A and B are shown apart, each in its own frame.
Chain A
Amino acid sequence: MSILVNKDTKLVVQGITGRDGKFHTGRMKEYGTNIVAGVSPGKAGESVDGIPVFNNVAAAVKATGANTSIIFVPAPYAADAILEASEAGVALVIAISEGVPVQDMIRVTPILKQNGTLLIGPNCPGLITPGEALIGILPAMIFKPGNIGFISRSGTLTYEVVNLLTLNDFGQTTCVGIGGDPVAGLYFIDLLERFENDPATKAVVLIGEIGGDAEEQAAQFIAEKMTKPVVAFIAGQTAPPGKRMGHAGAIISSGSGTAEEKIAAFNKAGVPVAKEPAEIPELLRRKMAELSK
């Protein structure tokens, strides 16, 4: 079991003929992801890696039954691509594009809600259900199937931590990179809830960072609603206030959104917070041992 994506996922790649789209289509296909279609306006009839290309998402969905989309189009066109997928009936959209204006995402949100479309990203590395489907730009070799759910606002920090998990024999059910933007799709609580309901997931690792209060909300959700253990790490304890730390959403504004507040919230909720990534496997081991007593 897993959440959101598995071997039955039928993926359409929006922006498949672009440099990034083409490259990552190859890697996802190699991993075994079931990619059924690509979209690139004006390139219908072509194929990339043997995958048929369509002019629009609606045609791709009609011909192939695609139910999940990944978006590689440049940021100025990302909101349009997300809406196109949603209107074509795609159930889950993963937007990799980095640098999407916030107002674009705000405008997209109510339409996705109305259509019942789930979104991950933008500005995210995507997600993976190890052994079944890679939908994103994550380096496949560090993941292995197992029983840990993984949620992170960051890309390479995810790789760092997942690698440590895998080396310590903690495989993963599904790993989701939710992205570094202030207004994004599925977030901590949405995914914690799914992991709580996924029988295969035994524990969850959550990687947060400065900016916003999603970690505080997650802590409250864990305290009130979750039976499975969660271990956390928060990046940005040394970040200066008022500066955007690479990710558009990673900013301490008016003194709120600090790492200290988030760590305190997790501690209060009984969620151990690692001092450094290397500590996470040990915390996980302890938490899971506690549970099996």
Chain B
Amino acid sequence: MKIHEYQARQIFRDYGIPVPDSVLCYTVSEVEKAARDMNRMVVVKAQVLAGGRGKAGGVKLARTVEDAVTAGKQILGMDIKGYTVEKVLVADAVNIAKEFYVGLINDRNTKSVILMASAEGGVEIEEVAKETPEKIIKFSINPLTGLLDYQARNVALELFGDIKLANKAASIFTKLYKLYVETDATLAEINPLVLTPENEVLAIDGKMNFDDNALYRQPKILAMREPDEDELQEIAANEKGLAYIKLDGNIGCMVNGAGLAMATMDMIQLYGGSPANFLDIGGSSNPQKVIDAMNILLGDKNVKAVMINIFGGITRCDDVAKGLIKALEIIITDVPIVVRLSGTNAAEGLELLKQTGLPTVSSMSEAAKKAIELSKR
């Protein structure tokens, strides 16, 4: 789960990380009031769940209230990578002497949280990692001790050189680690972390992602979720025990298991088709899931054919067949459907499906070819 910058800033503040003042605004008049109240140079920043806001023109410096109003007019309503900007943050534009990067991520290889820090702040860290990986300090944190003061200080000292500044930065690092662990984050980035000419160290932008598996114990984080249209669909599917992701193609697919679902999408493409979605009905045998899944698939107007690919293990093919029969009683559709059932109780399932007249095939390759053929009719 992702959150907006203004929400990340709030979490930072709650944990005592110094962040410049800011006001969230939904309208140009709110922007004007915020700029007037701050009475100094501000930065107007689009709040969308996409990276590269600056490059897209979604971040503008404003020296006067009039500048802020102009920026607000330009940014509110603009489109950034498919997201419409509905709100902006009007933030105190602090003077910057130097920019740094600091971030925490879960690392699969060391199976630990890694502190990453770099003196190359303010640019995308992925680019730094690609071009000049030696400019990123990486430190694997022992989960049993957490990030210790001296460890944070040593990393900060490498970055800042000066011990007084390093102490200020180290305190931010340890607070960032604390909030990272306590909120079950999967990413916490301050980019840039800035040094002001007054020797203050401040977080002026923040990015956080969270572990979906841990949301059950993070009610405060969950309350920050602002899903877009696609995500709303995904969340609704999730609540029904389905994993669903909408894609741009025209062949809907319903599969049991995430790996097989991905392989099914790949196969549709391999044979010249284009998958309309990822849909994993999971490992249970509940016919209701099949009904819910068919509703989602057939609700997508782009779908010209449906491919059902089930390899029964725990999932029983006859249960899937029963769900499918029920679904087709409820949903009237002329979208062609091709079914492949293998594994547990496949014979029983195929026998049940005879009454529906649906085409059945024995392998997933055949199913993909057939679905593509049907989609072109």
Chain A residues within 8 Å of B, Cβ to Cβ? 75-76, 99-103, 105-107, 109-111, 125, 137-139, 141-142, 152-160, 163, 180, 182-183, 207, 209-210, 212-214, 217, 233, 235-240, 243-250, 254-255, 259, 275-278
Note all chain A residues with C-beta closer than 8 A to B283: 137, 155-156
Q: Which residue of the partner chain, among A76, A209, A236, A254, contacts B216 with CB atoms under 8 Å?
A: A76
The answer to whether A159 and B262 have CB atoms under 8 Å apart is: no
How many Å from the CB of B6 to the closest CB on chain A?
Answer: 21
Given the interface pairs A209-B262, A212-B108, the reply to whether A237 lies near B126 with Cβ below 8 Å is no
Residue with the greatest number of chain B CB neighbours at <10 A, chosen from A99, A159, A207, A246: A246
Residue ID in chain B nearest A137 by CB atoms: B314
Number of B interface residues at 8 Å Cβ cutoff, please give it. 52
Is B118 interfacial (CB 8 A cutoff)?
Answer: no
A246 to B192, CA, bound (A): 33
How many Å from the CB of B173 to the closest CB on chain A?
Answer: 18
Please list 22 pairs of residues, one from A and one from B, whose beta carbons are closer than 8 Å in the complex, sorted by A's number: A103-B106, A153-B259, A154-B260, A157-B260, A157-B263, A160-B364, A182-B106, A207-B259, A209-B259, A212-B108, A233-B263, A235-B262, A236-B262, A237-B269, A239-B265, A240-B247, A243-B278, A245-B262, A245-B278, A249-B108, A255-B126, A276-B263
A217 to B15, CA, bound (A): 38
A207 to B257, CA, bound (A): 14
The answer to whether B313 and A246 have CB atoms under 8 Å apart is: no
Given the interface pairs A109-B112, A236-B266, A238-B275, the reply to whether A247 lies near B259 with Cβ below 8 Å is yes
How many Å from the CB of A218 to the closest CB on chain B?
Answer: 12
How many Å from the CB of B265 to the closest CB on chain A?
Answer: 4
Is B355 interfacial (CB 8 A cutoff)?
Answer: no
Chain B residues within 8 Å of A, Cβ to Cβ? 106, 108-109, 111-113, 126, 142-144, 181, 184, 186, 211-214, 216-217, 243, 245, 247, 255-263, 265-270, 275, 278, 280, 283, 311-315, 342-344, 363-365
Note all chain B residues with C-beta closer than 8 A to A159: 257, 260, 311, 313, 343
The answer to whether A156 and B106 have CB atoms under 8 Å apart is: no
The answer to whether A109 and B143 have CB atoms under 8 Å apart is: yes
The answer to whether A102 and B213 have CB atoms under 8 Å apart is: yes
Residue with the greatest number of chain A CB neighbours at <10 A, chosen from B126, B267, B269, B312: B267
Q: Which residue of the partner chain, among B112, B270, B311, contacts A156 with CB atoms under 8 Å?
A: B311
A254 to B106, CA, bound (A): 14
- Which secondary structure characterizes the binding site on chain B? mixed
The answer to whether A103 and B211 have CB atoms under 8 Å apart is: yes
Residue ID in chain A nearest B261 by CB atoms: A246
Note all chain B residues with C-beta closer than 8 A to A103: 106, 143, 181, 184, 211, 214
A100 to B106, CA, bound (A): 14
Note all chain A residues with C-beta closer than 8 A to B214: 101-103
A159 to B314, CA, bound (A): 11
The answer to whether B126 and A277 have CB atoms under 8 Å apart is: no
The answer to whether A237 and B266 have CB atoms under 8 Å apart is: yes
A250 to B212, CA, bound (A): 13
The answer to whether B364 and A277 have CB atoms under 8 Å apart is: yes
Residue with the greatest number of chain A CB neighbours at <10 A, chosen from B184, B259, B266: B259
A155 to B243, CA, bound (A): 15
Given the interface pairs A159-B313, A245-B278, the reply to whether A110 lies near B142 with Cβ below 8 Å is yes
Note all chain B residues with C-beta closer than 8 A to A249: 108
A259 to B267, CA, bound (A): 14
Residue with the greatest number of chain B CB neighbours at <10 A, chosen from A138, A163, A254, A278: A254
Residue ID in chain A nearest B234 by CB atoms: A243
The answer to whether A243 and B142 have CB atoms under 8 Å apart is: no
Q: Which residue of the partner chain, among A139, A152, A259, contacts B344 with CB atoms under 8 Å?
A: A139
How many Å from the CB of A114 to the closest CB on chain B?
Answer: 9
Closest 7 CB pairs of A and B: A154-B259, A246-B258, A156-B257, A157-B259, A101-B214, A139-B313, A235-B262
Q: Which residue of the partner chain, among B126, B245, B259, contacts A155 with CB atoms under 8 Å?
A: B259
Residue ID in chain B nearest A101 by CB atoms: B214
The answer to whether A155 and B257 have CB atoms under 8 Å apart is: yes
A247 to B263, CA, bound (A): 13
Note all chain A residues with C-beta closer than 8 A to B363: 278
Note all chain A residues with C-beta closer than 8 A to B313: 125, 137-139, 155-156, 159
A212 to B109, CA, bound (A): 9
Note all chain A residues with C-beta closer than 8 A to B265: 236, 238-239
Residue ID in chain B nearest A259 by CB atoms: B266
Note all chain A residues with C-beta closer than 8 A to B111: 105-106, 109, 183
Note all chain B residues with C-beta closer than 8 A to A157: 257, 259-260, 262-263
The answer to whether B247 and A238 have CB atoms under 8 Å apart is: yes
A240 to B260, CA, bound (A): 16
How many Å from the CB of B59 to the closest CB on chain A?
Answer: 20
How many Å from the CB of B2 to the closest CB on chain A?
Answer: 9
Note all chain B residues with C-beta closer than 8 A to A182: 106, 108
Q: Which residue of the partner chain, among B126, B212, B269, contacts A238 with CB atoms under 8 Å?
A: B269
Given the interface pairs A235-B259, A254-B126, A278-B363, the reply to whether A139 lies near B112 with Cβ below 8 Å is no
How many Å from the CB of A101 to the closest CB on chain B?
Answer: 4
